A and B are shown apart, each in its own frame.
Chain A
Amino acid sequence: MTYTANFRVWRGIGGEGELQDYTVEVNEGEVVLDVIHRIQATQEPDLGVRWNCKAGKCGSCSAEINGKPRLMCMTRMNTFEEGAPVTVTPMRTFPVIRDLVTDVSFNYEKGRQVPAFSPPKDLKPGDFRMQQKDVERSQEFRKCIECFLCTNTCHAVRDHEENVKFFAGPRVLMRTAELDMHPLDTLDRRRMAQDELGLGYCNITKCCTEVCPEHIHITDNALIPLKERVADLKYDPLRWLGNKIRVRGKDD
């Protein structure tokens, strides 16, 4: 069943731009990315859009559709009313390169601040032994496709651009939680999470979780547990005392 849809697509370079209207054909079973491609093929050969897999697995096609941060390739056209306009804009939090393509290097820069996995020095790569239950928590976070929709939606940077200096965003904090929970990682990452990556800026309002296309429980399973770990270290006088006088063992 084919119909004509009204699309409003943000077009511009380096931040300056505006929404432009297109009427475009839509066929049964299509997703927003298909329609964007049709606009590109039939009307606007220079329309900038990034994509790779069209299967929700590469994390390239992040955008905002009717104001909601989503993957274009996973947003089916049949979820919209036929006559209603469909607005597609680039992610708001990151600088625009062109049209729907944003520069997400912020995330990589923050990611590089996190020290890599650090196994015990005397353990050779072939000798890692872990039980399933020890790595289960981290495995959920490994589903991440680095679409950065979470960090894009997080109001701490989205609505306060100045905070990019202090706050690394949910994706990178989740990576920190993953390593802090890893049975063979030897670093204590808590102080860094709070003081350098800005975990305190998160107010656990869960928008990252709401938009994650991999349905990772970012807030409940990564950020809140990390906040609790930080509290053990920095905000819990009794635990601090306990550790000082060694009445309790280490939490290995």
Chain B
Amino acid sequence: MSSVTTPVSTDGQPPKRKRAEIGVKTLRTDRYWVQPLVTFIALMLFVIYSTWRAFMNADYFYEPLISPFYSPCLSTACPPGSSFWTPLDLPVAFSPALLILIFPLGFRLTCYYYRKSYYRAFWQSPPACAVAEPHGKYTGETRFPLIFQNAHRYFFYAGLAFNALLTYDAIIAFRNHEGQWGHASVGTLVLILNAAFLWFYSLSCHSCRHAIGGRLKNFSKHPARYKMWTWVSKLNGNHMRYAWISMVFVAFTDFYVYLVASGKITNFYFF
């Protein structure tokens, strides 16, 4: 028989209730730590790769291909032909990637999906569902600095400008090395795919979904925005997938340009 007995209260008050004493951080028996670990490793690899490339300050342009890490190239030190606007007179040693990466970085850092993944994988808040987090105190996104996550929409708008620019870069890649139009190479294809994936990522953004129609109360008064909202909502359901695909592919695109620019491979032309 059970050892449980009805507690007798001595002061006539109902017994005070507390949470169940369980003692262990979790009773989960599955391998809940695999997913945060995989996320951690994948994000770390990306951070390491992009840091290496951002500071390299070389092999990012080979007419007509430019790496997405270095576009737009705003420094006068950028190689000729890599940019149509170089307003900043910077020392040659200063990597022009550092001027612009803050925007895509900020976009991804404040992205609702990445927030979930790094809060879980890096900050362990929580490491997995129903697994206790190690921190003694928690205020979520209510105060500095995390309250700035609410600025995500501004990074989203900046991201749109970058997408437009990278699309432009992909279009001008329909030229050969001598600058003549009407040619296409593996590099063209890579740049096109990169721009496309970035568009999918941006358009599936939660802030985009909100701006396009989510903030409305009456969809029936705004049929066009409602229609667009249903499309964006569909994309939004796959936001995590687009986040990963576009991130891996942007690194791959940069790596491809690196290989071509450093002479390790030749950019094969279809026509």
> How many contacts between A and B, using CB within 8 angstroms?
189
> Which residue of A is nearest B142, CB measured?
A200
Cα of A47 to Cα of B4 in the assembled complex, Å: 9
Q: Is the CB of A93 within 8 A of B19?
A: yes
Interface size class of chain B, counting residues whose CB lies under 8 Å from the partner chain: 35 or more
Q: Is the CB of B215 within 8 A of A153?
A: no
Q: Which residue in A95, A183, A211 is a CB contact (below 8 Å) of B129?
A: A211
18 contacts between A and B (CB under 8 A): A10-B20, A14-B18, A15-B19, A15-B21, A66-B28, A67-B130, A87-B27, A95-B17, A96-B17, A97-B17, A131-B219, A134-B217, A160-B137, A200-B142, A202-B140, A203-B115, A220-B237, A225-B209
Q: Is the CB of B19 within 8 A of A228?
A: no
Q: Is the CB of B4 within 8 A of A207?
A: no
In the complex, whether A172 has a CB less than 8 A from a CB of chain B is no
B19 CB contacts on chain A under 8 angstroms: 15, 92-96, 161
Cα of A15 to Cα of B16 in the assembled complex, Å: 9
Q: Distance (Å) between the CB of B180 and the closest chain A CB?
A: 44
Q: Is the CB of A205 within 8 A of B119?
A: yes
In the complex, whether B120 has a CB less than 8 A from a CB of chain A is yes
Q: Mark A180-207, 1 if CB is under 8 A from B, else 0.
A: 0111010000000000001011111111
Q: Mark A25-56, 1 if CB is under 8 A from B, else 0.
A: 00000000000000000001011000000000
B: which residues have CB within 8 A of A?
A: 1-7, 15-22, 26-30, 112, 115-116, 119-120, 125-126, 129-133, 135, 137-143, 146-147, 150-153, 206-207, 209-210, 214-221, 226, 236-237
Other than A133-B220, A134-B219, A227-B150, give 6 A-B pairs with Cβ distance below 8 A.
A46-B2, A46-B4, A68-B30, A95-B18, A167-B140, A201-B140
